[in-house]
Amino acid sequence: MAFHESQLQAIHHKDGPMLVLAGPGSGKTTVITHRIQYLVEEYQAEPGSILVITFTKAAAREMKQRFQALMKGRSLPVSFGTFHAVFFSILKHAYRYDASNIIREEQRMQIIRELMGKYHVDVEDEAEFAGGILSEISAVKGEMINLEHYYSKNCSEEMFKKLYEGYTDALIRQRMLDFDDMLVMCYELFSQRKDILAAWQQKYRYILVDEFQDINRVQYEIVRMLAAPENNLFIVGDDDQSIYRFRGAKPEIMLGFTKDYPQAKQALLGINYRSTAEIVEAAGRLIGHNKTRYQKEIRAFRGQGRPVVTAVWEDARAETKGIVEELQDYVRMGYRWSDMAVLYRTSLEPRLLMERLMEYNIPFRMRDTLPNLYEHWIAKDICAYIRIGGDGLAKRGKAKRADVLRIINRPKRYVNREALEGQEISWNGVKSWYQDKGWMVERIEQLEYDLKMIGKMAPVAAVNYIRKGVGYDEYLREYAEYRRMKPEELLEVADQVQESAAGFGTAEEWFVHMQDYGKQLQEQARRLENDTDSVMLMTMHSSKGLEFPIVYILDANERVTPHHKAVLDADLEEERRMFYVAMTRAKDRLHVCYAKERYGKEQERSRFIGEYMGEDGGKRGRSGKK
């Protein structure tokens, strides 16, 4: 196999630290496996003294298989594993832990839910809140942050401290570990027991770390201790593809590697074997706008190829229809469905596209489990308003208790649950409960009037009235403040519900569609587990490491990508890296799509389009279809 100069430099490296910058499609796995082979065959390194650390089990498995193939099936005791697997094996030896001590995800959720009950944490989105708290606990441990200096994103500092301490105590009581404990305990073990550290240092003389840009602080500190004093630390990664800051990954660690190891050798794997030159050059212009990065020039090994297509559509419906028709065109040209992928920034975006794919009977698979919009509590609230308004009971001044409980204090009307008696709620009964409080009677009468109005409207008008007339949007803004969220996160869900309602003449038709959509989602998951010839739909995050002949990027609009949450420079640079990752998944054809209008509002084109086109200031773009 022919290698170019920088690949050989990396493969032939023997002792001391080395930083290998590996651009997209540059053959980094090949370089890592050949370097291990070189260590064993040319430098006579003991195979058992070589440790290869990856971030996922799949990557560790692939790396091991590729190495074994190189060695013609000879079984050698080189260690391949994820950070957690490697560190847990160290803890097993020290503390006699086994797999039964590792806590499962559902047990972690259960602990947080119990603590929420104990401390009366009242939230609409219990699972989302609990997940948010768990990832914050993870960040505090992984970044080795002092709890006194931590500002929670989900609740007050006082409440976060209670939840954090309650969670930690529960784990200690049950003698359980989570993945972050494995790291923290390993760090403490090595810091306190120099004899144990020395034994592991003698065992692992050569350490290779893949995807180094995704490392967090505590992982790095352990690896540094393990590699000392010889520092045979060979790290491979691409700072431009660091997209996991929300999980604690710190591209700054990679950028600071040569400061920590001034004697480190460097190699740039600067040839992209995956994509055509048009795609490589456009992606290079985009990522060049980031300030905090290693400057590098990536060249394409393949030919020039087709230009990147930047397509603007009138609205989101036209965008999805256009994409689906183009996918069909590609199949007519001889491509397979599985040659194509549609990437998007968040899992809220692909709903319209999925509905369109279902309509056209195009097979598709999801890399991520997609939340069902209609199962979201906001959608359920809006549907409850519409059901009460259109229900036959409403004509008799009554409503179903379950629906009333959902909406009665959204927005706040300060109605006591005790005023709502029976499975069918009579509004006259509620008013008589409040007969000595005239202002409360007025509130109920206003609600009755609103529900009658809603009952007469088409779905999209009803949703608009609930949001603006009844004051549901205002309730969402207040709730967002309470939850320390940006109101846009909740308003966007309401926008999506309203957009869906626009396609239906009656509430009955819309509700039937919701049921069908839910069934379709479940069927897609089942039917397509074995059906490999299907279009792949996934978030930009999930696309990392994959490649497809044809890639579509959906909704390249401001506030979508870059996301509206991205405010700081570091956030914007991460968003740009994510777009870069999405662009560099494409081998032959790359389509970037955006809409001029969505949710009845004008949309702005993503700044990233102007950047990859090389426009001054990134203002105007060459359009595809109108």
Copy the structure tokens of residue 526: 């089942």
Per residue in 424-449, pLDDT (tens digit) is 888 889 999 998 899 999 999 999 99
pLDDT at 421: 83
3-state class of 233 per DSSP?
A: strand
Question: For residue 90, what are the contacts with CB-CB under 8 A and spacing of at least 6?
Answer: 186, 189, 200
pLDDT at 298: 94
Report the b/e string of 167-190 with b at 16+ CB within 10 A: bbebbeeeebbbbbbbbbbbbebb
**DSSP assignment of 327-366, as one string?**
HHHHHHTT--GGGEEEEESSTTTTHHHHHHHHHTT--EEE
Determine the pLDDT at residue 393: 64
pLDDT at 100: 92
The pLDDT of residue 527 is 57
Kindly report, residue by residue over 576-592, the tens digit of the pLDDT. Answer: 999 999 999 999 999 99
Mean pLDDT by 10 residues, the chain (626 residues): 90 96 93 96 95 93 93 91 92 90 93 94 87 91 86 89 95 92 93 96 96 92 95 96 84 92 95 96 96 92 95 94 97 96 91 90 83 91 93 72 91 90 87 90 92 93 96 94 88 93 92 89 68 88 94 96 89 96 97 93 95 68 40
Distance (Å, whole) CA 452 – CA 430: 17
pLDDT of residue 618: 40
What local confidence, expressed as pLDDT, does residue 392 receive? Answer: 64
426 φ, ψ (degrees, to nearest 5): -100, 125
Closest CA to 489 of 605, 602, 383, 371: 371
Contact by Cβ (8 Å): 551, 520: no
Amino acid occupying residue 575: E
